[in-house]
Structure 1
Amino acid sequence: MRETVRRAGLATGQLGVAAGLAIVSYLFVGLVLFTAVVTLLVVGAGVLPETVLLLRRVAGFKRRRVAGWTGRAVPEAYVPLEGPLKERVRAAVSDPATWRDLRWLAAHFVYGWLLLYVSLIVWAVGAVVDGVWAGLLRRPPVLLPLVARLADLDAAWSGALLAPPPGAELVDRVAELTESRAGAVAAHGAELRRIERDLHDGAQARLVALSMRIGLAKRAYGRDPDAAAKLMDDAQDQAEEALAELRHVVRGIHPPILTDRGLVGAVRALAASSGLAVDVRDDGVEGGSRAPAAVEAAAYFVVAEALTNAAKHSGADRADVELARRATGLGVVVRDAGRGGADERGGSGLIGMRRRVAALDGKVEVSSPVGGPTVIEVELPCVW
């Protein structure tokens, strides 16, 4: 009985707020009519975007109340009111979500009051009936639980009316994918330029020098065998250096160590050569089925970039890396105890990291307050 009364009290508070919003909706009707008149007169067109923004705040408050009661968020999908006045007015009038908010406002003026009145009647009757039924006869209360049902009804109706228009989430998803695709194309172009630069400045230059050494050795072979032998020794050294350059380029495309040791082993090798004291923790990644090669490569480069930034910029002497197998994919967390203040606009490599992860529809969260620590969390979706 005590829990029922507590739940009914919370529900009554929820319905009381709903009734308060009903009063707001009543006042808003006058504001909407005023806005419509002055907008039609043109001289007051600037009032319309501000009224719509106020309406969005009221609807947003109700969305938060519904989410707090049900535990399920009610998303919103508004058209931004930006640019010159004419564009803001056009966006305010053409936004489907704004018209849905107005529909909710009108309906809520009716059912907000109605549900509160019904709940007060249920309280008046239920306090007596359930007091006898539950207090004397030791039976479960039957009327007071209806108050919570009324709050559920208010949340259900408001959630349905305030939900985004059909297709709005799809539009947002298309915009998100378009942005991530643009980032992936930019990252791919930057990667191609890096490979071309490494091949041109490194391996290609060494191979040209190697060809010249071999040519000189061929011409010197008949008249000066000792000089030819020396040139061939130099050519062998340059061939080995060219191979090292090519291995470096290959590691930048897909590190062979990933194929040989797997992600956990590759990250441990990376940590050992980072110059920091790195603790690598594995949460179910090693020993089971492996993630796709592209996902492992992205995770490897995320750790490499994060540890490089920590060693160069953070002033930290240690870091932690966590690799976790999750139901939705692969999780990567890199923490360092440095000075923090990482700025993505400062060329720290975080933008490239975001683009690489976004290309796989993943997410990156960076927390780096001044004074530290810096924490980079990455979620890479995949099927294990």
Structure 2
Amino acid sequence: MEKVRLTAKEKSELWGEGIITVILLLMLNLALVVILKEVTAQNPKLQNAIWGIKNVVVFGQDTHLWSWRYPLTGLMLVVDAVVVYWRLIRRYHQMQMRHVIAELHYIASGHLDHRINFAVGTDLQKVINSINALVESAVNSMAEERRIEQSKDELITNVSHDIRTPLTSIIGYLGLIEDGQYKGDEELVKYTHTAYMKAKQMKVLVEDLFEYTKARQTTTPLNAVSFNMVAMLEQLAASYELEAERADMSFVVTGKPDPLIMEADTEKLGRVFNNLIVNALKYGKGGKHIYLDAEKIGSEAVIKVSNDGPQIPNDSLSSLFDRFYRVEESRSQETGGTGLGLAIAQSFVTLHGGYIYADSTPELTSFVIHLPLQLGTTLQKPKE
């Protein structure tokens, strides 16, 4: 920040203010001296008490108006200096205020990237800091609003695209059936089955979209219960055991300590782990194990869902939790993914006051979840 730079006109105003003030004070001092002289002329004792040994005001050719030897003269000079200083400082502060108001008008005219960089050293500095903070807050709010609007547009575009594709197939195959353009019952069943599968794909998308919207709402209530996280992971592994065998994979569940007691909404956490396990089964092909590990570290529980399947490219890790993001578009379409599963998982974890991130090496791909042991505690994600 820099001091307010006065214009030549403002400097002239200050000089004029000082000169006029000095002249007025000299006239006032002279009037006071004359009045005091007249009042004390008839009382020598009072005169000596005020003026000292001899009169200060003596009219004559070799005399002076007042002498530095006398206390009253010194007092009058001090008062005069204080008055001059006060009036100049007051006028200077008024000029500073004019500059601040001019800067404020400049910002209000649409230059929201501008800030008031004045160091005034008075209470006006608090006003300047408040104005800058207010403008910064307004700019951030506008940017956030634009981001939300863009996010809504992207959501509508992605949903429209993902719904249109299966809907086109459904209408196409049902149109063939409606027009009788099929050869026998076998082809009819094929068309009907294809339309049915596409309808199920649409249903999954709509359900995931509804779940994502609900998870993003900060007012969504959490039905917190106390439970054993290790036992929950063991139950999840058992429920997906058949799918794991079909994918030639097996679960490995570990916990430290066991039991690991914590508070959370088990229904919503179940959705988080379901999404992560389903992803491990779909995209961990070639791997042999899915690891579910829970550990208590301080006041938080750290849960890892890992698999030894193919590595996720590093440039994709930061985008995994973006809605509708797919590492491999064709593979996701083949497996029927909507691209919302990880976004839903992240929203539910955040709703609990925790955070989630992904890490992938040639040996292991892990989704790491940090959750507070007690609800109501928000964890701070460490800086990368």
TM-score (norm 1): 0.35
Rg (Cα) greater in structure: 2
Identify the structure with the greater helix proportion.
1
* More contact order relative to length (CA 8 Å, sep ≥ 6): 1
Q: TM-score, normalised by structure 2?
A: 0.35
